[in-house]
Amino acid sequence: MTETKAAPAAPEQGPRNLLMRFIAALVLAPAAIAIAYAGGWLWSALATLAAIGLYVEWLMIVGAVHETRVVASGGVALAIAGFCFAAGRIDASLVALVAGFAVVAWLAPERRHWAVPGFLYAAAAEIASVLVRLDQGQGFTALTFVLLIVWVTDIAGYFVGRGMGGPKLWPRVSPKKTWAGALGGFAASLGVSAGFAGMGLGRTGPILLVGAALSIASQLGDLFESAVKRRFGVKDSSQLIPGHGGLMDRLDGFVAAIVLAAILGLFRSGADGVGRGLMVW
């Protein structure tokens, strides 16, 4: 069994790094909300570009990005799926993704155990992001709900964890995360859920439960990405976003939360009403 590699020691984040994070968030968050509001092909395009970026960064982490055919085949499959999503052809999108999965598995024999999960990770993010927004009635509300849950969980967890310290959540995987931060992020997500209920956008009990589940999923997604990076001795998935690292570093919690949101919505209302299904539990 291959031993887990230790990730390089991360420098403490000083005021300059924190300022970079704040500026990047100040630009990216409103842009994401605006595109989510527009929906349609704009949101499908953003989800597709993000999925391709996630796939490439995953391959960079696991050391398979030099396998050009693997990168290209997976990227093309995600792009075709995104085009089909924008055209309203969910069935064709799924066919493209299944074909992409088969080709990636066939072309990457040496990295099959890691390249294929990377494609599935990106494809799941793409499908879930589009399906949640697809609902014309509740899609934007549901997507905004997921985004806010992920953001406040991350922000509150960061500041509560740094401010209170205390026992580490999972030091072997993420040495800086604490139980205090995890609970702080969880509490903040309940505040967001209560706010949505107060505005009449969901029933109090169910929306609190959904918000709690999405917050936990977001934190588990963060830990999952940290575990993958630690397995390969990588600190950041890339340096694409100033102060944040790469797309995987920024979207790890969102991917887990949006996939869970899509599953909950599908279970409740089917593919055409995922957003509505998420908000009416």
Q: Between 165 and 259, where is the model more confident?
A: 259
Q: Is pLDDT at 46 greater than 80 in this prediction? A: yes
Q: What share of the chain is helix, strand, coil (3-state, %, to 5)?
A: 75, 5, 20
Q: Residue for token digits 């494609």? A: 119
Q: Are 247 and 237 in contact (CB under 8 A)?
A: yes
User: 34 burial class (0-12, 13-18, 19+ CB within 10 angstroms)?
Assistant: exposed
Q: Which of 59-73, 99-113, 215-229 has the lowest mean pLDDT?
A: 99-113
Provide the pLDDT for residue 242. 64
Cβ neighbours, 10 Å, residue 72: 12
Q: Which of 102-111, 128-137, 152-161, 219-228 has the lowest mean pLDDT?
A: 102-111
Number of helical H runs and strand E runs in the chain: 10, 2
Provide the pLDDT for residue 244. 62
Please give the Cα distance from 118 to 54 (Å, whole number): 8
Provide the pLDDT for residue 10. 44
CA 36 to mean position of chain CA atoms: 15
Q: Is 170 helix (H, G, I), strand (E, B) or coil?
A: strand
Q: Is 234 helix (H, G, I), strand (E, B) or coil?
A: coil
Provide the pLDDT for residue 7. 46
Question: What does the pLDDT average to over 196-211?
Answer: 95
Please give the Cα distance from 113 to 70 (Å, whole number): 13
CA 166 to mean position of chain CA atoms: 27
- Under the banding of pLDDT at 50, 70 and 90, the label for residue 271 is confident
pTM attached to this predicted model: 0.89
Q: Are 223 and 204 in contact (CB under 8 A)?
A: no
Provide the pLDDT for residue 16. 67
In the chain, the largest separation of any two C-alpha atoms, in whole Å, equals: 53
Provide the pLDDT for residue 9. 43
> What pLDDT digit, counting tens, does each position of 5-35 carry?
544 444 445 566 667 777 777 888 899 999 9
